[in-house]
Structure 1
Amino acid sequence: MKLHFDDITARPSYFTVKENSWHAEGDGCSFSGTANITASKLDGERVSLKGRFDGVLTAPCSRCGKKVSRKAENSFAYLVTTKPETIPELPEIECSDDDVNTLYLDTPVIDIAEIVQEQLYLEVPLQILCDGNCKGICPGCGADLNSETCTCVKDNSNSPFAVLGNLKKKTN
């Protein structure tokens, strides 16, 4: 869904975006839900854009690979402008909240779906677990350690700490 600045008035306009099949490329995440957007023109070059999405995020467990579903909801606000971004000459500056929440566009067209997708990417946690005690998958035999035991033979002879195991056996 794309909004042109000319279609937005000073009175708030409300939009609903249904994202039924959002997929993060390559990581198996999907989102099912809706986003409610409010847009209002502040002047000819600036638009206030506020939104909230609510739905279910489904992703593989980081340890065992089982599908995990969790509630995903967040709200966001942007100041969208076609004014050129002014970048100070200083090598390091501290960004204010206004700097972070300002979206600079080359053309006066807002891609709502892209903004919602960006917000969903930000909602995906770095590590998703099916259970806090998930044991994962054995790297040797591929057994799901949550439901079966590993059949691998433990060979620690190449370990630099194998000598310590021998010391423990002698002291007992």
Structure 2
Amino acid sequence: MQRQWFVTLQNLPAAGRAWDVEVPKKLLQDSDFGVVDVVAGLCGDVYWSLLLERQGDLFHLTGQWRAEMPRQCSRCNAAFNWQVIGQTERQFQLGPEPVNEEGDSGCEYIAAPGEVNLVDVLREDIWLAWKADVICSETCKGLCQGCGNNLNTGVCKCEQDDSDHPFAALRNLKLDG
């Protein structure tokens, strides 16, 4: 296993630790590395900027990542590479989870020495950023509902007969102005 992707919270320097790395696609798709399901369908490596700091008893992990995945547009059904940017925000605390704690503190409790698999954290963040419906661009025109043509790459081939449309009579209206 690649130990560079594990961090032990008890061994964290007082100044904290920062990463600015490309996480290999091959590692994120390796089912033998970590417990979180692998991320399938990445176009390439994932860029990740990360900071781990200690504040009292809490360890704060924050950062930003950027990935690219092949997807189908929800409007025009064309294949494209979806650019996704996500945030990493975690809080860890060493020791067992308190039994009488009221509410959800948003903190993950880890037994000492507090080993965290950063690849699992990134995999989880990518899964949480997944959207069911994505579009190839904000200007995507989609498909014609009549003929099914992709309106981004061609024109509608429908023979439009809207003479029975309720507002068709307005076309013949002459306005003096």
| Shorter-normalised TM range | 0.5 to 0.7
Equivalent pairs counted in the alignment come to: 150
Amino acid at match of 1:9: P
Of 50, 60, 74, which residue of structure 2 is paired with 1:49? 60
| Structure with a larger share of its residues in strand | 1
Residue in 2 that maps onto 1:124: 130
Structure 1 residues 129, 135: closer, same or farther in 2, change over 3 A? Answer: same
Q: How far did 1:88 drift? A: 4.4
Distance 1:89 1:56 in 2: 37
TM-score (norm 2): 0.57
- Cα pair 1:33 1:53 within 8 Å, conserved: no
Q: Report the identity percentage.
A: 15
Equivalent of residue 17 in structure 2, options 8, 13, 17: 13
Q: Deviations over 1:61-115 (max 9, x none)?
A: 34515023325143x332212321135498xx5x4xxx22x12224520111211
Deviation, 1:137, is 8.0
Q: Distance in 2 between matches of 1:47 and 1:111?
A: 17
Give the SS at the match of 1:55: strand
Read off the aligned partner of 2:134 and give its amino acid letter: I
Amino acid at match of 2:60: L
Q: In structure 2, what is the equivalent of residue 104 of structure 1?
A: 109
Q: Which residue number corresponds to residue 3 of structure 1?
A: 7
Alignment RMSD: 4.2
Q: Identify if the C-alpha distance between structure 1 residues 41 and 134 changes in structure 2 by more than 3 Å, giving closer, same or farther.
A: closer
